[in-house]
A and B are shown apart, each in its own frame.
Chain A
């Protein structure tokens, strides 16, 4: 007897999801009606009332009668038990054979894989209908025998699905890690692979159920399975088709029931898959509050955006200006600020670097500038100006015109940014033609020119290659070329070197510098790597927990850091640290959005903390000519050191 509370919890989880609850209830009612037909059905299945033949629905016969005047509802109920039994036999056989085989050959590969896959090819080429007819003839119209055959014939298909899903999951690092831990194939399959592919198996099992339902109904319809007058759904369809000229009615409840059952099975399979996927991905389909419009900013107090960017060299023509930008996300727990009060200006031909640890809001700042904030997040305070135009009220059409043309983006993972299906030439031509009306020939010329611009030797050869055929460094060059296709005025580069070998990292940074010199493009460089910031950026902004904590010319920030976080972050660079002693580290972790303290966000990890740090929000101050810092000690320390 299962624990009642567990049962109730599962039930509650299921009932919250209509996509599971509705088909589940339908199928449950069908099962109860079918297997309880003896007690629940209003009439015995064979009882004929010739006076009421081919009648429509009435109080006496809710679903009408067939050509012999038998009650359609009762016959459907009696026929259901066989139908469900048939489905169960076939699908259980398929699953029991195919799932373990698919798991084992997917994980082990080797000769067994080769043998089973070839066998599967052979089995799949057997004409199923003919085999079924032979079996039905040999086994005296035994539906059980027929269902065993259907179940076995479906094994290769299911096995292939399970195998290929297993291959994919098997490439996950945690599967390698489990093997290194000493887990055998079977344990790895059960603990690490099966839970990940259960949803897929359910969906395919639901499809197999539907397939079996239709085949079984077909066999019965041509009279090779259940012998009339015994009721079966297929037999009733055949019956109804004989009298279609006199009355369409009997076909409607029977056909409708088969269709509803099939649909319910499919929807249930999909719903269960989604529910299982949520469990480990942590995403919730019942995402609350996603569409809710929050009425105001999360932090009402101290809502005076500071636009102190006067430390930046006066920009005659700023391409991008962020003024006091706060990005707020609506979550289940309410509105949460992701970045707070960020101001920055990037002038033509200039490079501004955003540096800080993961989770400090660097990427979010870039996305705010690109108008690509994730669902549920929005700029709640401050303004974003591009080429002097406030883009706050832009709709999708205006943004599309801006993106790629005026602003462009290069990401950390070049391979992810390039569609593996197309050649590099195709990808580049497509990018070029979204911005300019060019013929195919002209587009190819421009694509070649772009590859030359990103210093790829032998561009003609590379145009014909696919992304999988080039190295990571070359892929990053190509994705930069794609970004350059629209001749952008500003490029946002989010960790463009992080996934690359050290030898290639520097080349990419130098390439970006060269392109800037040639085109006057502005560059916002996001990186956690001081070497990249030092090499690429005129100005550096250090971000911590959603705020700019220090800014200034890159040289000054790196040689005379003011904020304790900047100092610690610089010291924690393994490349600069002395060998033979522990590398300096910053104890603790960055507080996530929603858990920022009232005062200085860094206070918990700061060795120089004083009482003033934790009492009230800390403002950006300007203690020196080229120094902006968000620290109560900034001014005092400067005096001490100078």
Chain B
């Protein structure tokens, strides 16, 4: 088993310019009674270290399917997924476990993504239990660290998810993703179930964490108004196909595909001046 500096997260600038995640010609079909229905067709995208790429589309566009395929939750039908130069398309078992140190996820539903029967501490300790045989005190220290990173007090570890608000639960879910110091976090609609004011808090948290840890995000959303705060590049999916691809400025200033223009109009930023480079 080969692991190349999978634990080194401080290195945000890859001198070789090699993408951290490289998805090439990926197709995923859901089999229903032998007939394959393609959820995504021939999708390619790449994410560099420390970068955020937004995957935008409406429900049913296949954007979550792509995220699940990168996480190994849904098998790819065709194409390859390279992580840090290695083919991980069909990684399973011990390789997938090893990969899970570097690739983590934050899901949409802050109510469903935490096991209601486990305390926050138990949930956060889970990845540590799988990957290391650290002493109890080390585990507790790491849990306190990640809780502090997402702006929650240390005593939150002893409480159950139902004792937290939706925004706080999403912070806990982010803390779980951070425990192993991953290099890539797949964020599947991480703010769309939250109040606008809480969305703002969580979006700021994503920005801060990226600045502090150099993590990359694959940010999946249906709302262009939200992703422009985070993403350097945008990929627009429509019914399983990539219809638009470019830097955030390009897409906002000069969307080519009519669907992208509809998304922009819905986000209330039609004709808005292109946001300045970050």
Contact = CB atoms under 8 A, between A and B. Distances in A.
A582 interface: yes
A182 B197 contact: no
B59 A280 contact: no
B267 A575 contact: yes
A468 to B, nearest CB: 13
Interface in A172-216: 172-174, 176-184, 187, 191-192, 195-196
Contact of B196 (A173, A282, A572): A572
Interface in B64-87: 68, 71-73
B260 to A, nearest CB: 11
Contacts of B114: 174, 177
B129 to A, nearest CB: 8
A177 B200 contact: no
A144 B275 CA distance: 78
B201 interface: yes
A569 interface: yes
Given A182-B100, A357-B198, A582-B204, A280 B58 contact: no
Contacts of A182: 96-97, 100-101, 127, 130-131
Interface in A568-587: 568-569, 572-575, 577, 579-580, 582-586
Nearest to A283: B162
Interface range for A = 35 or more
Contacts of A572: 196-197, 200
Contacts of B101: 182
Contacts of A575: 196, 225-226, 267-269
A79 B111 CA distance: 52
B196 A529 contact: yes
B165 A358 contact: yes
B276 A586 contact: no
A272 to B, nearest CB: 16
B207 A582 contact: yes
B256 interface: no
B262 interface: yes
B176 A589 contact: no
A579 B165 contact: no
B113 A174 contact: yes
B203 to A, nearest CB: 6
A471 interface: yes
Interface-central residue, A177, A179, A582, A589, by most chain B CB under 10 Å: A177
Contacts of A358: 165-166, 195, 198
Contact of B204 (A172, A177, A583): A583
B168 interface: yes
Contacts of B267: 502, 575
A574 B203 contact: yes
Contacts of B200: 572-574, 577, 583-585
A372 to B, nearest CB: 22
Nearest to B201: A585
Nearest to B56: A502
A196 B266 contact: no
Contact of A357 (B73, B97, B195, B223): B195
Interface residues of B, number: 65
Nearest to B108: A173
A349 interface: no
Interface string B80-120: 00000000000000001100110111011100111111100
A501 B222 contact: yes
Given A357-B198, A572-B197, A585-B197, A180 B162 contact: no
A129 B219 CA distance: 59
A626 interface: no
B274 to A, nearest CB: 10
B278 interface: yes
B195 A580 contact: no
Contacts of A173: 107-109, 112-113
A453 interface: no
A173 B108 CA distance: 9
B167 A471 contact: no
A177 B112 CA distance: 10
B130 A282 contact: no
A67 interface: no
A110 to B, nearest CB: 10
Interface string B224-266: 1110110000000000000000000000000000000011001
A280 B116 contact: yes
Interface in A13-61: none
A180 B115 contact: no
B196 A574 contact: yes
A635 interface: no
B147 interface: no
Contacts of B269: 575
B26 interface: no
B44 interface: no
A274 B201 CA distance: 38
Contacts of B228: 579
A503 interface: yes
A281 B97 contact: no
A8 interface: no
Given A191-B126, A503-B58, A505-B266, A176 B196 contact: no
Contacts of A187: 130
B205 to A, nearest CB: 10
A506 interface: yes
Contacts of A582: 204, 207
B173 interface: yes
B117 A580 contact: no
B278 A580 contact: yes
A589 B229 CA distance: 23
Given A177-B105, A181-B100, A574 B229 contact: yes
Interface in A253-288: 279-282
B203 A589 contact: no
Contacts of A233: none
A184 B100 CA distance: 11
A172 B196 contact: no
A357 B197 contact: yes
Interface string B28-61: 0000000000000000000000000000001110
A180 B97 CA distance: 8
A359 interface: yes
A531 interface: yes
A472 interface: yes
A280 B117 contact: yes
Contacts of A177: 105, 107, 113-114, 173, 176
Contacts of B229: 574, 577, 579, 583
Contacts of A501: 58-59, 222, 266
A568 to B, nearest CB: 8
A528 interface: yes
A389 B56 CA distance: 49
A327 B68 CA distance: 44
Interface string B208-230: 00000000000000111110110
A504 B109 CA distance: 20
Contacts of B60: 471
B62 to A, nearest CB: 14
B121 to A, nearest CB: 14
B104 A180 contact: yes
B158 to A, nearest CB: 15
A172 B267 CA distance: 30
B105 A176 contact: yes
Q: Which of B73, B168, B191, B200 has the most CB of A within 10 A?
A: B200
10 contacts: A181-B126, A184-B130, A192-B115, A358-B165, A471-B60, A503-B262, A505-B266, A577-B229, A579-B229, A586-B197
Closest 7 CB pairs of A and B: A182-B100, A280-B117, A579-B275, A575-B225, A572-B197, A583-B200, A173-B112
Interface of A: 172-174, 176-184, 187, 191-192, 195-196, 279-282, 357-359, 471-472, 501-506, 528-531, 568-569, 572-575, 577, 579-580, 582-586, 589-590
Given A177-B105, A178-B115, A181-B176, 8 more contacts: A180-B71, A181-B127, A182-B127, A358-B198, A568-B197, A574-B199, A575-B225, A585-B204
